[in-house]
């Protein structure tokens, strides 16, 4: 995992185009860049930011997946992330660090003192491996996270979630 990813959104005026395109780039530690893959859920025409619509929803989802959340988990949390972060980005240009996304996730993580028990899916939201079957973490309960409406839950191995809590991701 790269620790220093930086996400940059900007508007690019192409030749003879009246409306600038919204672009989101990812910059890695070593300076390499790539265009953030757009995961299309609501807005086939592109990602957006600075308000709470469908383009911003797609940006929120795409960022959470690029961060490393499994897509089915990101689908449970991207609307919360949209309202908390994406809707508040400046309309023209912005940067968001991988750390800032991690901090947002970490603020929602909860230590739970019970056993992993039979949840909807005892699959780690970051590494995708089963939580119950991992003997190295079986002795310690997973970290858990709920969506704003309390209806969606994600679980993390402690070993996967701790770097989030420690700001080391």
The residues that touch Zn ion, with contacts defined as CB under 5 A, are 124, 127, 157, 160
Place of tokens 């959470």: 64
Cβ of residue 105: shortest distance to Zn ion, in angstroms?
Answer: 13
d(CA 154, CA 7): 24
Considering the complex, state which of residue 84 and residue 127 has its C-beta at the smaller distance from Zn ion: 127
Considering the complex, state which of residue 50 and residue 142 has its C-beta at the smaller distance from Zn ion: 142
Instruction: Return the half-sphere exposure (C-beta side, CA atoms, 13 A cut-off) of residue 128.
Output: 7
Cβ of residue 165: shortest distance to Zn ion, in angstroms?
Answer: 14
CB-based closest residue to Zn ion? 124
Cβ of residue 111: shortest distance to Zn ion, in angstroms?
Answer: 16
CB of 34 closer than 8 Å to CB of 23: no
Considering the complex, state which of residue 3 and residue 11 has its C-beta at the smaller distance from Zn ion: 3
Cβ of residue 20: shortest distance to Zn ion, in angstroms?
Answer: 40
Place of tokens 């005026």: 13
Exposure b/e, 9-24, CB count within 10 A at least 16 = b: beeeeeeeeeeeebeb
Place of tokens 């959104």: 9
Considering the complex, state which of residue 23 and residue 132 has its C-beta at the smaller distance from Zn ion: 132
DSSP β-bridge partners for residue 153: 146
Token code pair at residue 94 = 């912005």
Considering the complex, state which of residue 154 and residue 160 has its C-beta at the smaller distance from Zn ion: 160
Cβ of residue 160: shortest distance to Zn ion, in angstroms?
Answer: 3
């Amino acid at each position: 995992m790269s620790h220093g990813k930086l996400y940059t959104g900007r508007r690019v005026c192409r030749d003879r185009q009246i409306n600038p395109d919204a672009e989101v780039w990812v910059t890695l530690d070593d300076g390499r860049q790539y265009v953030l893959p757009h995961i299309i859920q609501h807005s086939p025409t592109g990602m957006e930011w600075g308000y709470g619509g469908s383009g911003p929803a797609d940006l929120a989802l795409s960022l959470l997946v690029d961060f490393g959340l499994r897509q089915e988990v990101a689908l449970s949390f991207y609307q919360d992330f949209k309202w908390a972060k994406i809707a508040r980005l400046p309309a023209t240009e912005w940067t968001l660090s991988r750390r800032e996304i991690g901090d947002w996730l970490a603020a929602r993580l909860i230590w739970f003192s019970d056993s992993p028990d039979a949840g909807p899916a005892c699959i780690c939201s970051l590494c995708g491996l089963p939580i119950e079957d991992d003997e190295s973490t079986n002795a310690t309960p997973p970290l858990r996270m709920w969506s704003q409406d309390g209806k969606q839950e994600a679980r993390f191995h402690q070993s996967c979630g701790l770097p989030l809590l420690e700001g080391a991701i």
